[in-house]
Amino acid sequence: MTGAEMIVQVLVDEGTTAVFGYSGGAILPTYDAVFLHNQAQADQGIEQMPLIVPANEQGAGFMAAGYARASGRVGVCLVTSGPGATNTVTPVRDSMADSIPMLVICGQVPTAAIGTDAFQEAPVSAIMGSVAKHVFLVTDPEKLEATIRTAFEIARTGRPGPVVIDVPKDVQNWLGTFRGEGTLPVPGYRKRLFATTHAGIEDDEAAAFFAMLRDAQRPLIYAGGGVINGEASSALTEFAETFGIPVVTTLMGIGAFDTTHRLSMRMLGMHGAAFANYAVDDCDLLLALGSRFDDRVAGVPNKFAPRAKKIAHIDIDRAEINKVKRVDWSHVGQLPEAIRALTAFGRKTGFAADYSPWHQELELLRTRHAMNYDRSSPLIQPYYVIEEINRLTQGQAIIATGVGQHQMWAAQYFDFCRPRLWLTSGSMGTMGFGLPAAIGAQFAEPKALVLDIDGDASIRMNFGDLETVTTYNLPVKVVVLNNFGDGMVKQWQKLFFKGRLSASDKSLHKKDFVKAAQADGFEFAVRLDRKEDVPRVVEAFVRYPGPAFLEVIIDPDAGVYPMVGPGQSYDAMITGDHIVARHAPVKTDAPGPSEMF
- The DSSP code for 231 is T
Q: Which of 35, 119, 202, 523 is catalytic?
A: 119
Q: Which of 133, 169, 477, 506 is catalytic?
A: 169
Active site residue 120: yes
The radius of gyration of the chain from alpha carbons, rounded to an integer in Å, stands at 25
Active site residue 217: no
**Which residues pair with residue 249 across a beta bridge?**
223, 267
Q: Which of 48, 120, 217, 518 is catalytic?
A: 120
For the four alpha carbons of 368, 371, 375 and 377, in that order, the dihedral sign comes to: positive
Provide φ and ψ at 399, rounded to 5°.
Answer: -115, 115
**Which residues pair with residue 513 across a beta bridge?**
none
Separation between Cα atoms, residue 342 and residue 354, nearest integer Å: 18
Asked if residues 333 and 201 have their Cβ atoms less than 8 Å apart, the reply is yes
Active site residue 334: no
Active site residue 57: yes
Strands ordered across the beta sheet of 19-22: 51-52, 19-22, 75-79, 102-108, 162-168, 134-137
Asked if residues 521 and 535 have their Cβ atoms less than 8 Å apart, the reply is no
SS3 readout for 263-293: CEEEECCCCCCHHHHHHHHHCCEEEEECCCC
Q: Which of 6, 63, 371, 488 is catalytic?
A: 488
Sort 362 into a burial class: Cβ within 10 Å, 0-12 / 13-18 / 19+: buried
Active site residue 511: no
User: Dihedral of the CA atoms 385, 389, 392, 393 (nearest 10)?
Assistant: -160
DSSP states of 165-222: EEEEHHHHH-B----S------HHHHHHHHHHHT----HHHHHHHHHHHHH-SSEEEE
**Which residues pair with residue 505 across a beta bridge?**
485
Separation between Cα atoms, residue 156 and residue 162, nearest integer Å: 9
Verify cis geometry, omega within 30 degrees of 0, for the bond prior to 562.
yes
Cα 71 from chain centroid (whole Å): 12
Q: Which of 5, 6, 14, 57 is catalytic?
A: 57
Q: Which residues are catalytic?
A: 57, 119-120, 169, 488
